[in-house]
Amino acid sequence: MYVFGKDDAPHGHMHIKLDNVRVPKDNIILGEGRGFEISQGRLGPGRIHHCMRSIGVAERALELLCKRALSRTAFGKPLAELGGNYDVIADSRIELDMCRLAVLKAAYMMDTIGNKEARKYISAIKVAVPNMTLKVIDRAIQIYGALGVSQDTPLAAMWTGQRTLRLADGPDEVHRRVIAREELKQYQ
């Protein structure tokens, strides 16, 4: 099936219909009824890994943004000096570095208190990082103008990739729920 109009080959995404599937007992991993446990065990490290890659994507988008803001001239000035573009660049750096520190904190918590106990920190970055990255990419697209939505920059593909991350490995709302419940627990 298609994601944002692309088939994402060679990796791809597909519909799978499981119809009367029988799995030999010997092939069961961990134990009967424990599949969710396995997927949860994988998801914590998987989610932080997505966030680390997203930080890299945001860095690349900001780099592209800055290069274009310096090289493209309009109304007699580089784009960097027009409108609120200094603010756009500064806000991108501020938000990116805040997210990077939050990812480092989540990694530290996973290493010290364990993946399960660190879920609040993992959920926090799983919400914050793709949203921040989307914002930075969107700003870069704006600076590039029409070029930004064409195939001549990687920005459009970066945006669609990050947009799916607000769903994959748990939608934002579910992660917010995890964070809120952990916060409330302290006072119940």
Query: Phi and psi (nearest 5°) for 15?
Result: -80, 135
- Please, which residue, 95 or 169, has the CB nearer to ligand FAD? 169
Q: How far is the CB of 4 from ligand FAD (least distance, A)?
A: 9
Site membership for ligand FAD, residue 12 (CB under 6 A)? no
Site membership for ligand FAD, residue 167 (CB under 6 A)? yes
HSE-CB at 50 with a 13 A cutoff on CA atoms is 26
Which range touches ligand FAD (CB under 6 A), out of 20-28, 74-82, 121-129, 161-169? 161-169
Among 49, 171, 180, 181, contact with ligand FAD (rule: CB under 6 A)? 171
Q: Which residues pair with 6 in a beta bridge?
A: 3
Site membership for ligand FAD, residue 38 (CB under 6 A)? no
Calculate the CA dihedral of residues 137, 142, 147, 148 and round it to 10 degrees.
10
Cβ-contact 54, 130 below 8 angstroms:
yes
Among 174, 180, 181, 183, contact with ligand FAD (rule: CB under 6 A)? 174
Site membership for ligand FAD, residue 168 (CB under 6 A)? yes
Tokens for 83, please give them: 């409108």
Q: How far is the CB of 167 from ligand FAD (least distance, A)?
A: 5
Residue with tokens 């490290």: 45
Instruction: Give the residue among 47, 55, 44, 169 at the shortest CA–CA distance from 101.
Output: 55
Which range touches ligand FAD (CB under 6 A), out of 18-26, 58-66, 73-81, 168-176? 168-176
- Cβ neighbourhood burial of 84 (10 Å; 0-12, 13-18, 19+): exposed
Site membership for ligand FAD, residue 179 (CB under 6 A)? no
**Contact positions vs ligand FAD (CB under 6 A):** 3, 13, 164, 167-171, 173-174, 177
